[in-house]
């Protein structure tokens, strides 16, 4: 298992940003929408099982690229940095605007960056932001790049089957961004550890299996999920990976100021925090207002907590996520 002990430099989070689509959709809105199809649901069911009250759905003009760009622009403003200072762009997404080129390329174009910095997408579904952070961290630690734009951006609303009430109520759209930069030599802050895993034995339990062939979509273009199996796997794997990331960072749960879990379901989030022995007041939870935004959920929650002043410089933050694949991971950061 790689560690971050023998690196030349340290990567730290310099700034964050986020974007939520204009259209906020309440549970009651979904009750009405599904009623038109003679499908029953209720705010009480959705809220009790998931902790979700609202999610946002992107309008046609709010493409994945647009949302990613807006989040990036906010992060650049917070850093007081010009787009031209970015020397790598990584976008974590499973809902890109096009088959290719990737969203990261379009973001470079929209930001007007002319420095030919590399730009690529990472497709690791709900764990995508942790995967992208891990990649960015290593590029900074080995001296390849100094300022990396890491974005999670998703339009899962486009993959929802509104005839499947078990999945369509869960997901929302949005984007979050972080600028990872080389820390100066006297700074202690930075990414302390990142741990990634994949177990493909769960490959069919959470998927959208459509592909394009001869100009037509073949297979199901919707999210398919075996909810209870995902739930059980999630709670076990998240505790394991969080403890691994803490060990690699030479920290214990007592050292953690904030937990930022992937915002899939409040019961999974609370279950993991309890297993880790973390006070629920130390958990950043945005799932009630954002729903599950897949790779965007952690950077969205991070940006909310940075902007409202909860996360302060020098505090230790544990991030963890699990998603389709199954893939999962965790990072420990001194902010
Ligand atoms: N409204 C009302 N009733 C519903 C709804 C709904 N929206 N959805 C399902 N039900 C019904 C079911 O039909 C079932 O009825 P029945 O008992 O008459 O058959 C009953 O509620 C219970 O259904 P379950 O599927 O057993 O409900 P469960 O308690 O497992 O909750 C849920 C479902 C919320 C999906 C849960 O399993 C879950 O959160 N799973 C994990 C999801 C997750 O974390 N995903 C993360 C990764 S996402 C990614 O990677 C893209």
Q: Is the shortest distance between the CB of 264 and ligand 1 below 6 Å? A: yes
pLDDT at 329: 98
228 Cα–ligand 1 center, Å: 7
Angle at 322 between CA 190 and CA 68, to 5 degrees: 65
Q: Do 159 and 95 touch, CB atoms closer than 8 A?
A: yes
Across 224-242, average pLDDT: 94
For position 42, what pLDDT does the model report?
Answer: 98
Question: Quick one: average pLDDT of 173-190?
Answer: 92
**pLDDT for position 5:** 53
What is the DSSP track for 274-335? HHHT--GGGB---HHHH-B-GGGHHHHHHHHHHHTT-S-TT-EEEEEEEETTTEEEEEEEE-
* Nearest C-alpha neighbor of 291 from the set 59, 26, 109: 26
pLDDT in tens, 103-142: 999 999 999 999 999 999 999 999 999 999 999 999 999 9
The residue contributing the CA closest to ligand 1 atom 12 is: 166
Specify the ligand 1 atom closest to the Cα of 166.
8
Which of 40, 128, 231, 296 most suits a substitution to test ligand 1, by most atoms within 8 Å of the C-beta?
231
Is the pTM higher than 0.85? yes
Active site annotation includes 292: yes
- pLDDT for position 3: 45
DSSP labels, 209-266: --EEETTEEES--S-EE-HHHHHHHHHHHHHHHHHHHHHHTT--GGG-SEEEE--S-H
Average pLDDT over residues 228-257: 96
- Using 50, 70 and 90 to split pLDDT, how confident is the model at 249? very high
What's the confidence (pLDDT) of residue 2? 46
Arithmetic mean of pLDDT, 266-281: 97
Give yes or no for residue 1 having a pLDDT over 50. Answer: no
Q: What mean pLDDT is predicted for residues 30-35?
A: 98
Is 262 a known active-site residue? yes
Task: Confirm whether 117 is a catalytic residue.
Answer: no
> Between these two residues, 235 and 263, which has the higher pLDDT value?
263
pLDDT band at residue 81 under the 50/70/90 scheme:
very high
Q: Residue 6: its pLDDT value, please? A: 64
3-state DSSP call for residue 87?
Answer: coil
Average pLDDT, the chain: 96
Best mutation site among 166, 292, 326 for ligand 1, i.e. most ligand atoms within 8 A of its Cβ?
166
Q: Is residue 169 lining ligand 1, measured as CB closer than 6 Å?
A: yes
CB-count burial class (<10 Å; 0-12, 13-18, 19+) for 7: middle
Instruction: Tell me the pLDDT tens digit for each residue of 138-156.
Output: 999 999 999 999 999 999 9
Instruction: Report whether residue 276 contacts ligand 1, using a CB cutoff of 6 Å.
Output: no
Residue 186: pLDDT band (50, 70, 90) is: confident
Triad 161, 163, 169: Cα angle to 5°:
65
Verify whether ligand 1 is closer than 6 Å to residue 206 (CB atom): yes
How much of the chain, in percent, has pLDDT values that exceed 90? 95
- Whether residue 96 is predicted with pLDDT greater than 70 in this model: the reply is yes
Mean pLDDT in residue range 219-226: 95
Ligand 1 centroid, distance to 166 Cα (angstroms): 5
Q: Give the per-residue pLDDT at 7.
A: 79
Whether 101 is in the pocket of ligand 1, judged by its Cβ within 6 Å, is no
CB proximity list for 150: less than 8 A, separation 6 or greater: 90, 92, 129, 132, 133, 136, 177, 178, 179, 180, 299
Mean of the pLDDT values across residues 51-66? Answer: 98
Indicate if the pLDDT at residue 207 is higher than 80: yes
Compute, in angstroms, the gap from residue 298 CA to the centroid of ligand 1: 22
CA of 106 to the centre of ligand 1 (A): 35
Mean pLDDT of 190-214: 96
């Amino acid at each position: 298992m790689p560690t971050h002990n023998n690196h030349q430099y340290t990567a730290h989070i310099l700034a964050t940003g986020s974007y939520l689509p204009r259209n906020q959709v309440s549970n009651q809105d979904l009750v009405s929408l599904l009623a038109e199809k003679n499908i029953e649901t209720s705010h009480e069911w959705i809220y009790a099982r998931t902790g979700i009250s609202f999610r946002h759905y992107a309008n046609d003009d709010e493409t994945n690229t647009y949302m990613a760009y807006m989040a990036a622009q906010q992060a650049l403003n917070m850093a007081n940095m010009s787009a031209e200072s970015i020397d790598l762009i990584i976008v974590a997404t499973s809902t890109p605007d096009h088959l290719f080129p990737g969203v990261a390329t379009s973001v470079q174009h929209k930001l007007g960056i002319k420095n030919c910095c590399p730009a690529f997408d990472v497709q690791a579904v709900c764990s995508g932001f942790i995967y992208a952070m891990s990649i960015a961290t290593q590029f900074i630690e080995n001296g390849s790049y100094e300022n990396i734009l890491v974005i999670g951006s998703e339009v899962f609303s486009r993959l929802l089957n509104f005839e499947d009430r078990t999945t369509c109520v869960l997901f929302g759209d949005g984007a979050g961004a972080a600028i990872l930069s080389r820390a100066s030599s006297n700074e202690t802050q930075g990414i302390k550890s990142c741990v990634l895993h994949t177990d493909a034995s769960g490959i069919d339990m959470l998927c959208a299996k459509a592909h394009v062939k001869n100009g037509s979509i073949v297979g199901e273009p919707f999210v398919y999920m075996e909810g209870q199996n995902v739930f059980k796997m999630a709670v076990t794997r998240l505790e394991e990976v969080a403890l691994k990331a803490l060990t690699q960072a030479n920290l214990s749960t007592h050292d953690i100021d904030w937990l930022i879990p992937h915002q899939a379901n409040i019961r999974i989030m609370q279950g993991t925090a309890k297993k880790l022995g973390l006070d629920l007041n130390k958990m950043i939870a945005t799932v009630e207002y954002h729903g599950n935004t897949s790779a965007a959920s952690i950077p969205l929650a991070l940006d909310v907590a940075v902007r409202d002043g909860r996360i302060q410089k020098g505090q230790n933050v544990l991030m963890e996520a699990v998603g389709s694949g199954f893939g999962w991971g965790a990072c420990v950061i001194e902010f």
